[in-house]
Homo-oligomer: A and B are copies of this chain.
Amino acid sequence: MKKTDIKYTNQRIEILDFLKEFDGHPTVDDVFEGVRQKLTRISKATVYNNLRFLSEKGLIKEVNVKGVSRFESNMIPHHHTMCLECGEMKDYESEELCEYAMKIAAEIDDFKIESADTNFYGICKKCMEKE
């Protein structure tokens, strides 16, 4: 399953471009609305199918938040902070923590680790100021 196997259709290119420029973790609807600016006739099913396709190919990453799929194109191992108030989700990169988690995971019996990620739950700046 090499990268060269991938057919880069217009729809897929626009989806990838949109994800690259989007600041955050868009839902399927976000992607759909965004891509529709350029490809006015694209259907939501195509967005769904291609988001799944691209994440299976390892070009993007799917993150599930409370039962809803979100996507990101940042493929560097990293973590996420989630605001318990407003639901905002942000990247947080800590190489140390990635390595520490992988080291610990390597010691788990009967389990071959492939990846690890950590989610931080708390209150974001905006919501702190609101209170």
* Partner-B contacts on A (CB < 8 A): 64-69, 81, 84, 92, 94, 96-97, 100-101, 104-105, 108, 110-125, 128
Contact A116 B120, CB 8 Å, known A94-B104, A100-B97, A104-B97: yes
Most chain B CB within 10 A, of A67, A69, A118, is at A118
Write 21 A-B pairs (CB below 8 A) sorted by A numbering. A64-B67, A67-B68, A81-B105, A81-B111, A97-B101, A97-B104, A108-B120, A110-B124, A110-B125, A110-B128, A111-B120, A111-B122, A111-B125, A114-B122, A116-B120, A116-B121, A117-B118, A117-B119, A117-B121, A118-B118, A119-B119
Closest residue of chain B to A101 (Cβ to Cβ) is B118
CA distance A104 to B96 in the complex (A): 9
A97 and chain B: residue at smallest CB distance: B104
CB–CB B105/A120 < 8 A? yes
Give this chain's copy count.
2
Q: A67 CA to B17 CA in the complex, in Å?
A: 26
Given contacts A81-B108, A110-B125, A115-B122, 19 further A-B contacts (CB under 8 A): A64-B65, A67-B68, A81-B111, A84-B114, A94-B104, A101-B118, A108-B120, A111-B120, A111-B122, A111-B124, A111-B125, A112-B122, A112-B128, A113-B120, A114-B121, A114-B122, A115-B121, A117-B121, A118-B118
